[in-house]
């Protein structure tokens, strides 16, 4: 845990954009909110519930995700899955991600 506060802000800033990528990628198969939170945490993505749930709602309103309420169990759960538009967005974002990773590595140098 960095005790330097601007450092914490920089890390949060850096992660913010990639969260969309992680969420869209994980939702190639349907998941409900809390299950997605656990999946992401297991994969080492540091995201809080109060960030993820509003993000899901935003992505849904942008039609990158579709959702379905499952009422077969005793408690209703909302399942999200990536839409066709979301898949296309994911491909583009991945390209950009790789491009940026190459550029940053080239600029900052590896193992320095």
Partner 1 sequence: MENTIERYVYDVARRLPEKEREEVKKELRANIYDMLPENASEAEIEKVLYELGSPASLAGKYRQNPRYLISPAYYDEYVSVLKWVLPLVGVIVMVIGFITGTVMALKIDTSKYYLVATKIISQGISMGVSAAFQALIWTTVGFVIAERSGQRAEQSGKHSWRIQDLPEVQKSGQTHIPLSEGVAELVVMTVFSVIGILFCTGRLPFAMAFSEEGLHFTTVFNPDFLVLWIPAILVTFVLGVIVGITKIKDRRWSVPVCVSVVAKSLVSMAMSLYLLNQPNMFSSEFLTFLSNVGVLQALPQVNGKNVLLVVLMVLIVIGTISECVKTVTMTIKNRDK
Query: Which chain residues interact with partner 1 by CB under 8 A?
Result: 32-35, 48-51, 53-54, 57-58, 61, 69, 75-78
Between 79 and 97, CB nearer to partner 1: 79
Q: Tell me which residue of 27, 2, 36 sits closest to 90, measured CA to CA.
A: 27
Between 13 and 48, CB nearer to partner 1: 48
- Say if residues 86 and 65 touch (Cβ distance below 8 Å): yes
- State the nearest-atom distance from the C-beta of 24 to partner 1, in Å: 18
Between 54 and 99, CB nearer to partner 1: 54
- Residue for token pair 């409900």: 32
């Amino acid at each position: 845990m960095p005790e330097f506060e601007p450092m914490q802000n920089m890390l949060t800033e850096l992660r913010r954009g990639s969260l969309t990528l992680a969420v869209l990628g994980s939702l190639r198969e349907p998941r409900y909110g809390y299950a997605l939170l656990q999946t992401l945490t297991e994969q080492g993505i540091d995201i809080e519930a109060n960030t993820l749930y509003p993000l899901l709602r935003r992505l849904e309103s942008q039609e990158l995700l579709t959702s379905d309420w499952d009422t077969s169990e005793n408690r209703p759960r909302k399942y999200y899955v990536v839409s066709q538009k979301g898949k296309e967005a994911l491909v583009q974002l991945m390209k950009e991600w790789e491009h940026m990773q190459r550029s940053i590595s080239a600029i900052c140098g590896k193992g320095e």
